[in-house]
Structure 1
């Protein structure tokens, strides 16, 4: 794996120089050690110092800020800071009221922070510490002090910082921080390994279909190595373990953090929270506030953790106090905490219909046997449902084609649009106007797909059917005429011509074949159109793209077929298959 670094031995030093320089209005670096110091720190109050290994950014330096920590002592990648770094960093922010240390419960951190405290105590500086042990997977509750500190650090640091801001003495600040710690519980799962800068191999290995359940932040072994599971299954399993460990029950109130471990997207974190919220609602547990973010990472490790922070009125008071750093903010301006009065607006139920699965091949369903010679409204409805099922089933194929030179979303967009069209068509049984069928399907696609494909492929059905006299059925010639109108509208909107490596490369020859063969009937016409579209797809391999993501590839796009043209070919193939029966 290539990392954007210089010398691996200087990663932490150079990272810290860049970080402090970027946010110099807030921070300065300790001149002798890797300590991040807040410029506008607390005066005449208990100082809060946090710390641990680097490589978990933005934790810990990113949680130095107003209402948060006064300083962070930073070690090497995944390694505790040494006692001198801890000592010098804390000494720089001491106000004479004592220093509270908050850090994760790891052997190295415990030893080094203890030693740093001893040095400070020798200088007459009072200290206390709170070790965060929120990882419910790392030890049973009767050995809770053996548990690791992971993303729950966020809630403990936030609460401890607020208690310091409130002017409480060292003993009381420690009590509040311990209370936050004892009401914070986390479990994580790793889906892909991370690699340390300068090291040739990842810190652990996972098979393609494996996940590590309960893994620590540094690649420590979890409680179970198991097979890949869907998000809802993982989220429920993780939630249930926290619930069993804590006894969380009806009427209680929590903050939720879904924390990404480095390479997991916000999209994935949101999907996880969706399930966690459903489970909390079911159990009668109120969600006071939620974060979906990457606060406590592990380089580029894949995976996430779920943290529940159990609240009472005292903890809620400190959680609601304002704070700010470049990576974390709460309080009045952010509106982070919210009341549980959910405004449930009455919404129209989602128009899903009887959706076909992505893996299911289309099933031919017709009201008549044999070859169709004219398309009635019911024939058209059944045909477009069949085509929708066909395209939905081909989503992985279209995704693979688009991933080669595009952004890989064409299959997803086409399947989504076809599902909406399918749902609309299922409710139109009994419609007598054949053009209304095409128009409704096109409009459903256009309004749901987004991107250029929504407008273009929606127009494939919609443009040719609009502004036509109602008809109970159409002939081959009338279908060809309709598609000619659609082609003209698509070219007008997209400005593409044959040779530009777009869907027009398949649609234009297909329409010409329809017009040339319309006198032979629907079947022969759609056979000719299908073959012309197929050849058009082949021809796109020879073209340089002039539109879309592939445009920037220039000659490098040669040799690859266009995904939009492929979808056109599948649509005409579906027409032919339906008409032929």
Structure 2
């Protein structure tokens, strides 16, 4: 598939530059991170920050504006923003009344937004969050908290934005947003796959006469693959599933959104709505407002979703409150922001300075990617029995190149049961780690090398992988007494500490089909063999991690985007576990020489 892009690694930054440039009357880009901020600085109110992966435009950045969000933290394509982006976006719009976060319920978003909130609370800023969980296909009603967020984000953001602008307290704004979430139900269907920029294959495959019922917004497999069906048949089936999940009765009022996933036309959406409205009329349910549009997309995925938002008097009042952004407007449109000529000139100069700084950083990153990272002429000959700070640095550089090279392999594995972004995220995080490691040629503390590499990954990758794989290096090394040289026992203790931190953060256990399935047995092998020396220990850890990868093929996923597949995920290996194995393989290869 041909994409109208320049470089796959710069898609998000270039998209944001064009997006903000086109709508500079309303938005500005944060000078340091990929976040979109409202031009209209509103004081004495709770700040609303939304966010998630890019690739779903106009969600999330397109929903910043009057009566909507104050800022949007934007991650890489289909990957959550990293904690630093979330933190900086919220800091930029905080008014002293607290910050409410609204985002979809995905493992990566949950982890990264939780950590962003921790950073803000450390600064004395009050926070709360509401996770949208409207996808009725992704989990049964008794497990609402496990449901994915899809097009229902539109209604929750609308209500939360109105409640914030009404001057409510953080507690009251949170209550209103939770009420909106609990009154929202969505079901979707995919008719054609999407393809990530820079990836050779679509994120899933469908036959010409097939559709995927219950497909997730990132291309996660649905609950049923079936033959092509006419619009009325699909609409009736989707209507029945939503109605089964709600308490709607004759006389109730709802808003309806028929949302296109990227390549579906308004013509098709209107045909679907025609049938939905017929069924609602038959059941005596009144439509207060309807919308046919592409708000929550998935690149060029074919298909659509149907969302019902049940109203009461309170929610109706918030829904009718004026809001405006270039992609979404309700209520009275007067009062949109307009800058004076002098302010425009000042802002333009500031943006030019920001752009020059970004161009310079982009150039530095490109330079850092060129050439081999390992310095064989400096490395000690033969097998290493311990790791000096510089041995550790060069070993981690070797691993960064290894993971970057394996990007297509990891993408292919993740595409089978996920959304295909794991390879992209890992490669991006490793590039940032590489840049940092190349600046540490004089470092004498071995633990500081691991900590710096982990922090670079954590603050740049986004997605669940950013928090988890950043912690693989960072958590074990953080707070350790500085040492110029670490032994096999030291490395084993460090990885044990990292494992505990990762499990505390992500709650995963062996058997949940995550990276823990490879990391936990690897750590056990390290503890059992650390007295034998560095190389025997790493050989044992590599073998144990590989067996852990094989074991993931037997498991039903308990976390991540494969969770909704249930038994359909059996037979496929976990991409995160595969990355763990490759990291231990890289350690062993470098130490062995």
Same fold flag (TM > 0.5)? yes
What is residue 30 of structure 2 aligned with on the other side?
Answer: 30
In 2, the alpha carbon distance for the partners of 1:307 and 1:220 equals: 18
What is residue 145 of structure 1 aligned with on the other side?
Answer: 145
Q: For the Cα contact (< 8 Å) 1:261–1:305, is it kept in 2?
A: yes
In 1, the alpha carbon distance for the partners of 2:94 and 2:110 equals: 21
CA RMSD of aligned residues (A): 0.7
Q: For the Cα contact (< 8 Å) 2:323–2:333, is it kept in 1?
A: no
Q: For the Cα contact (< 8 Å) 1:260–1:304, is it kept in 2?
A: yes
Post-superposition Cα deviations, 1:501-552, rounded to whole Å, max 9, x if no partner, equal xxxxxxxxxxxxxxxxxxxxxxxxxxxxxxxxxxxxxxxxxxxxxxxxxxxx
What is residue 154 of structure 1 aligned with on the other side?
Answer: 154
TM-score (norm 1): 0.57
Q: For the Cα contact (< 8 Å) 1:215–1:223, is it kept in 2?
A: yes
What is residue 131 of structure 2 aligned with on the other side?
Answer: 131
* 1:107 and 2:107 matched: yes
Q: How many residues align?
A: 334
In 2, the alpha carbon distance for the partners of 1:96 and 1:253 equals: 36
Q: Secondary structure at the match of 1:270?
A: helix
Q: Secondary structure at the match of 1:289?
A: strand
Q: For the Cα contact (< 8 Å) 1:41–1:66, is it kept in 2?
A: no
Cα deviation for residue 333 of structure 1 reads: 4.3
Post-superposition Cα deviations, 1:12-54, rounded to whole Å, max 9, x if no partner, equal 0000011001111111100110000001032110000000000
In 2, the alpha carbon distance for the partners of 1:42 and 1:256 equals: 30
**Deviant stretches of 4+, over 2 Å:** none
What is residue 411 of structure 2 aligned with on the other side?
Answer: none
Cα deviation for residue 332 of structure 1 reads: 2.5
In 1, the alpha carbon distance for the partners of 2:327 and 2:43 equals: 23
Q: For the Cα contact (< 8 Å) 1:100–1:170, is it kept in 2?
A: yes
In 1, the alpha carbon distance for the partners of 2:89 and 2:110 equals: 17
Larger Rg: 1
Alignment of 1:118-517 (within 5 A): 118-333=118-333
Post-superposition Cα deviations, 1:421-441, rounded to whole Å, max 9, x if no partner, equal xxxxxxxxxxxxxxxxxxxxx
In 2, the alpha carbon distance for the partners of 1:168 and 1:42 equals: 14
In 1, the alpha carbon distance for the partners of 2:333 and 2:126 equals: 34
Q: For the Cα contact (< 8 Å) 2:190–2:215, is it kept in 1?
A: yes
Q: For the Cα contact (< 8 Å) 2:255–2:309, is it kept in 1?
A: yes
In 2, the alpha carbon distance for the partners of 1:280 and 1:247 equals: 14
Please list every run of 5 or more consecutive structure 2 residues that lacks an aligned counterpart in the other structure. 335-593
Post-superposition Cα deviations, 1:234-262, rounded to whole Å, max 9, x if no partner, equal 00000000000113221110000000000
Q: For the Cα contact (< 8 Å) 2:130–2:178, is it kept in 1?
A: yes
TM-score (norm 2): 0.56
Post-superposition Cα deviations, 1:64-117, rounded to whole Å, max 9, x if no partner, equal 000000000000000000000000000000000000000000000000000000
In 2, the alpha carbon distance for the partners of 1:278 and 1:252 equals: 15
In 2, the alpha carbon distance for the partners of 1:259 and 1:249 equals: 24
In 2, the alpha carbon distance for the partners of 1:239 and 1:128 equals: 33
What is residue 512 of structure 2 aligned with on the other side?
Answer: none
Q: Secondary structure at the match of 1:306?
A: strand
Q: Secondary structure at the match of 2:36?
A: strand
Q: Name which structure has the greater RCO, CA cutoff 8 Å, separation 6+.
A: 2
* 1:45 and 2:45 matched: yes
In 2, the alpha carbon distance for the partners of 1:38 and 1:168 equals: 20
In 2, the alpha carbon distance for the partners of 1:258 and 1:62 equals: 18
What is residue 572 of structure 2 aligned with on the other side?
Answer: none
In 2, the alpha carbon distance for the partners of 1:183 and 1:194 equals: 29
In 2, the alpha carbon distance for the partners of 1:82 and 1:155 equals: 25
In 2, the alpha carbon distance for the partners of 1:185 and 1:215 equals: 14
Post-superposition Cα deviations, 1:255-276, rounded to whole Å, max 9, x if no partner, equal 0000000000000000000000
Q: For the Cα contact (< 8 Å) 2:50–2:73, is it kept in 1?
A: yes
Q: Secondary structure at the match of 1:160?
A: helix
What is residue 12 of structure 2 aligned with on the other side?
Answer: 12
Post-superposition Cα deviations, 1:133-164, rounded to whole Å, max 9, x if no partner, equal 00000000100000000000000000000000
Cα deviation for residue 221 of structure 1 reads: 0.7
